[in-house]
Amino acid sequence: MSQFIYVTYIRAPREKVWAALTTPETMREYWFGMHQETDWKPGSPWKLVFEDGRVADAGEIVECEKPNRIVIKWRNEFKPEFKEEGYTRCVMSLEYDGELTKLTIDHSIEREGAKIIAGVSDGWPKILSSLKSLLETGKSLERFKS
């Protein structure tokens, strides 16, 4: 198994973090223009879409327990070396921790040395840092560039 786990603490209520994870308009602000398309119901299709409309990743909602947990069956669609590895499992868990929300991302695949996990290991920290910045300061990392 290959696995990437990332934990961050965000000074925002869990409901606000949940909304940022599941609302396309907010997501575009911290996910560098990308957004998810789904109705968040188990068994529903899910996709992550680039600004230009191309599908970056696709899969299915496995679990969705608002505002605690989302599980996505996730496959990369634009890099052949990632796509051929098949589906990963991404679990997003939110927990109260005093004034903070503890957000844990657990992204894994049932194969050793997976290239896709190396890829998400680079991407998730940037995305989650941008999310944390947006919720705590009102500015995502993308908006700090200008």
- How crowded is residue 60: how many other Cβ atoms within 10 Å of its Cβ? 17
pTM: 0.95
Amino acid at 77: E
Interatomic CA distance for residues 112 and 122, integer angstroms: 18
As assigned by CATH, the class of the 2-144 domain is alpha beta
In the block, which residue shows the tokens 């500015």?
139
Chain segment 53-90, per-residue pLDDT in tens: 999 999 999 999 999 999 999 999 999 999 999 999 99
How far is C-alpha 65 from the chain's CA centre?
A: 15
**Ranges of each domain in the chain:** 2-144
Helix, strand, coil percent values for the chain (each to nearest 5):
30, 40, 30
Return the pLDDT at 146: 42
Interatomic CA distance for residues 16 and 12, integer angstroms: 6
